[in-house]
Amino acid sequence: MPVTTKQLLQILPNAGANAGVFTPALNTAMGRYQIIGRHRVAAFMAQIGHESGQMRYVHELWGPTPTQAHYEGRVDLGNTAPGDGFRFRGRGLIQITGRANYAECGDALGLDLIGQPELLEQPQWAATSAAWFWSSRGLNTLADVGAFDKITRRINGGQNGAADRRALYVRALQVLA
């Protein structure tokens, strides 16, 4: 089920001109990772919509906030070298975060994301990395059974932004009906 730019703008009205930029990349990535069918696509659009500020941000805005400051030295993210927290901050439409996740994603996509983490800011790789992450975490299966809160936890580690994610999901289901 390819998504049109018009549908994308109905789901993510704040995306503006970025909707047209991302539509082809998203359709290619969703096809590659079997994010097909109304429920999978709606859940995916809702999650990337929230994570990217409706496609306005392909890299995490940096303060650093207290949460971001804790990225530094987080072994569970693979951030073991000084500066890793900032260097491997969230990027792409689903905000791949941490040296370990960049390495895993880079291996899967055939990219040197350790040497060039900013590649995830390009539309093709922002979309493909999001679809790869989705697939690699088994989120199609959760979308098939409507386990939206579980999807949010696998992406975010908790329920950060749950109300926005849920509202985007409901809107996406309506648009894709």
* Residues belonging to the active site: 51
Longest dimension (CA), the chain: 48
d(CA 44, CA 101): 19
d(CA 110, CA 11): 31
d(CA 81, CA 151): 30
Contacts of 65 (CB under 8 A, 6+ apart): none
Residue 110's Cβ-count burial label (10 Å; 0-12, 13-18, 19+) is exposed
